[in-house]
Amino acid sequence: MTGIPCALMRGGTSKGALLLASDLPVDEAARDDLLLRIMGSPDPREIDGLGGAHPLTSKVGVVSPSSRPDADIDYLFLQVVPDKPVVSTSQTCGNILAATAPFALERGLVPTDFGTTTVRVHLVNTGAIAVLTVQTPGGEVTYDGDAEISGVPGTAAPVEVESEPPSGALLPTGNVVDMVAGVEATLVNAGMASVIVRASDLGLVGDEAPTDLEADDAVVAKVAAIRAAAFPLMGIAGTPETTTTPKIVLVSAPAAGGAIRTRSFIPYRVHDAIGVLGAASVAAAVRLPGAIGNDLAAQPGVGEVVRVEHPAGFFDLYVDLADGDDSSIGPVRVVRTARMIMDGVVHPRPAALRPARHDSQEAFA
């Protein structure tokens, strides 16, 4: 098959393929089948494609000139499941988001400025707008810099990301705390639908390694029960078996100078760090009086960074309650880094014998 222009990029603590929408089939079924073949799914090792055998490294960002007058580019995120023929658009990804602006500049979709370039990104999965600032000294993208983020070795040029508050309710049920599958939880959406639960309510300390949590059948079963019970309460389309949201985040008191400690299920594996928008939802809970997380947090002052601890270190965000409103938040600001790893042509494996499954089909059973 003819090769397809493709960039393999790291965005934040994730890695994936970045492609132009114009290089992919318009038909969604054909597109998803092609992406499975590009990434090497279904196969636990993704040995025959670009995928990295883990949800954090089996991601795709599709970029195009924006369909909206208030944005420069459209960004569609697709999660390719490594070991199942599944391509999901049920969530977006804030880490791959960090790579979309440099990619768009490299592809000439947006003109570069001297010094820094601002790119307004329409997140197609959610309808939100994010404003990214990329380092462009001399009018060219640079990936070299001194910014450091936990979970990524070395340093790189910063990519500043400011996300608008989500258009829907911050608290989908209208309650700060709900009883979900027998435990207290805060159901919150500050860009990523999340269920915040005390680690202690699952008999955990909160410092457990991701692999240990994944191997604990009782914890996995309880998390699945919480997620299934929260699903209808949050009004999420589809079913728990066919979408990747909501995320279940276990929180505990900070242990390394941060505001809160986390362990995030995404939804069945445990994140080695934490997603950008998942961290935003945790930070929102930290800020909300009475919420799960607020009661455990070392509360930062207004305008100060909210440091979210995770298995690989920490994630810093700036998020505050909206002026005069204890039930909504203002824009979320974070610093990520991105890097071009490979830019060239990818050759998909031959056409699969079985079609891709989509969000409307059984996906994550």
State residue 354's pLDDT score: 54
State residue 229's pLDDT score: 94
**Radius of gyration over alpha carbons of the chain, in Å?**
20
How many Å separate Cα 134 from the centre of its chain? 19
| Coil/strand/helix, residue 225 | helix
The DSSP 8-state label assigned to residue 200 in this structure reads G
| Mean of pLDDT values over 79-105 | 94
pLDDT tens profile 148-203: 998 899 999 999 999 877 677 889 999 999 999 999 999 999 888 999 999 999 99
**Are the CB atoms for 333 and 318 separated by under 8 Å?**
yes
Q: Is pLDDT above 90 for 286?
A: yes
State residue 363's pLDDT score: 38
Q: Count of residues for the chain?
A: 365
Q: Is pLDDT above 50 for 365?
A: no
* Alpha carbon distance 269, 248 (integer Å): 11
For 320, how many CA atoms within 13 A lie in the half-sphere containing its CB? 9
Strands (E), the chain: 4-11, 14-20, 59-65, 73-80, 87-88, 115-123, 129-136, 158-163, 178-180, 183-189, 193-198, 247-252, 260-265, 306-310, 313-318, 332-346
| Coil/strand/helix, residue 12 | coil
Task: Tell me the CA distances in angstroms from 254 to 185, 207, 288, one per residue in order.
Answer: 18, 10, 17
Q: Is pLDDT above 80 for 326?
A: no
In this prediction, residue 362 has a pLDDT band, given cuts at 50, 70 and 90, of very low
**DSSP H helical ranges for 125-275:** 210-215, 217-233
For 137, how many CA atoms within 13 A lie in the half-sphere containing its CB? 6
* Alpha carbon distance 58, 81 (integer Å): 7
Q: Across-strand partners of 9?
A: 16, 340
Q: Is pLDDT above 60 for 357?
A: no
Q: What angle do CA 297, 303, 306 make, to 5 degrees?
A: 35
State residue 258's pLDDT score: 95
Q: Look at 63 and 190; give whichever has higher pLDDT.
A: 63
State residue 332's pLDDT score: 87
Instruction: For each of the domains in the chain, give its residue range(s) and CATH number, in order of start.
Output: 4-164+338-346 (3.10.310.10), 178-330 (3.10.310.10)
Query: What does pTM read for this prediction?
Result: 0.78
Print the SS3 string covering 103-158: HHHHCCCCCCCCEEEEEEEEECCCCCEEEEEEEEHHHCCCCCCCECCCCCCCCECE
Number of helices (H), then strands (E), belonging to the chain: the values are 5, 16
| Mean of pLDDT values over 88-111 | 95
Question: Which candidate, 210, 360, 188, places its Cα nearest to that of 272?
Answer: 210
In this prediction, residue 303 has a pLDDT band, given cuts at 50, 70 and 90, of confident
Q: Is pLDDT above 60 for 358?
A: no
**Are the CB atoms for 332 and 280 separated by under 8 Å?**
yes
pLDDT tens profile 194-237: 999 999 999 999 999 999 999 999 999 999 999 999 999 998 87
**Are the CB atoms for 168 and 246 separated by under 8 Å?**
no
Task: Tell me the CA distances in angstroms from 292 to 133, 148, 221, 299, one per residue in order.
Answer: 33, 29, 21, 13
Q: 331: how many CB neighbours lie within 10 A of its CB?
A: 14
Out of 43-52, 83-92, 97-106, 130-139, least confident range: 83-92
